[in-house]
């Protein structure tokens, strides 16, 4: 029973870490969309561009944060499965870019590694949490 609690707490911690990472970008996008785009050296030149960054990185990011907090409290395995998809598709998107447009810069390379590691962590925690629950519910 102790192992199940520990695995569940680690999983919740990972979900919280992911949620806070997304929240930080969301807050940045709401307060100053240009600061988000400065990370990749892109200038926003019109209100539609500012609005789009606020919507995608701000609004969608806040929605993801709220959803992850809900899942962390109510269904850790669904939260981990969701993060597996989220981090995995982020990494896949960057990998596609490498093959289609060419090598990533330092920012893209750093995040490809980070997202890939988070994808693996989410999968490992999902499997461990599922197994721990199965062992202790039999």
Per-residue pLDDT, 80: 98
Give CA torsion, residues 120, 77, 71, 55, to 10 deg.
40
pLDDT above 90 coverage of the chain, percent: 88
Looking up tokens 């979900």 gives 15
- What is the C-alpha separation between 52 and 59, in angstroms, rounded? 10
pLDDT digits 0-9 by tens, 3-57: 888 999 999 999 999 999 999 999 999 999 999 999 999 999 999 999 999 999 9
What does the angle CA 63 – CA 67 – CA 72 come to, to the nearest 5 degrees? Answer: 150
pLDDT digits 0-9 by tens, 114-123: 999 999 999 9
- Other Cβ atoms closer than 10 A to 76: 23
Is residue 56 within 8 Å of 28, Cβ to Cβ? no
Domain residue spans of the chain: 2-137
C-alpha 111 chain-centroid distance:
11
């Amino acid at each position: 029973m102790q192992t199940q609690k520990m695995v569940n707490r680690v999983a919740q911690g990972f979900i919280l870490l992911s949620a806070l990472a997304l929240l930080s970008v969301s807050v940045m996008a709401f307060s100053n969309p240009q600061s988000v785009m400065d990370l990749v050296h892109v200038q926003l030149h019109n209100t539609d561009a500012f609005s789009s960054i606020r919507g995608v990185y701000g609004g969608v990011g806040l929605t993801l944060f709220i959803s992850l907090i809900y899942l962390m409290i109510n269904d850790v395995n669904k939260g981990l499965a969701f993060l597996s998809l989220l981090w995995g598709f982020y990494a896949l998107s960057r990998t596609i870019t490498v093959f289609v447009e060419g090598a990533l810069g330092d920012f893209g390379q750093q995040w490809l590694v980070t997202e890939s590691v988070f994808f693996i962590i989410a999968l490992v925690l999902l499997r461990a949490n599922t197994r721990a629950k199965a062992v202790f519910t039999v």
